[in-house]
């Protein structure tokens, strides 16, 4: 078990409701919990807009540059997963 995974576990435990997370869980499970924590913190704020990455989102639609919220009819989880990748 890596120290990084242990540190992520403690961080997620501290900042979010990660009750079913285990230290030995897969990377995918950790990514899901990280995305949930980001959504919990940011609500409807679009990461591509918030971090000035307009043009990098492959699902960019007309109106995406207006405001800072997710307004492209996509699930928040999918937007954050694309942003991470």
Residue 61: pLDDT band with limits 50, 70, 90: low
Closest CA to 10 of 26, 30, 35: 30
**Which burial class, exposed, middle or buried, applies to 48 when counting CB atoms under 10 A from its CB (0-12, 13-18, 19+)?**
buried
Report helix, strand or coil for 33: helix
Domain co-membership, 33 together with 61: no
Mean pLDDT of 71-81: 89
- DSSP-derived letter for residue 46 is -
Q: Do 7 and 29 belong to one domain?
A: yes
Question: Model-level pTM?
Answer: 0.83
Scan for tokens 């995974």, then name that residue. 5
Is the model's pLDDT at 48 over the cut of 90? no
In a domain, 9, yes or no: yes
Whether the predicted pLDDT of 70 surpasses 90: no
Domain total in the chain? 2
Domain span holding position 62 = 43-75
């Amino acid at each position: 078990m890596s120290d990084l995974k242990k540190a992520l576990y403690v961080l997620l435990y501290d900042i979010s409701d990660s009750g079913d997370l285990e230290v030995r869980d897969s990377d995918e499970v950790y990514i899901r919990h990280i995305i949930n924590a980001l959504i919990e913190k940011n609500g409807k704020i679009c990461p591509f807009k918030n971090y000035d990455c307009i043009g990098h989102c492959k699902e960019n639609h007309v109106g995406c540059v207006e405001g800072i919220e997710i307004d492209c009819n996509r699930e928040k989880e999918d937007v954050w997963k694309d942003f991470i990748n």
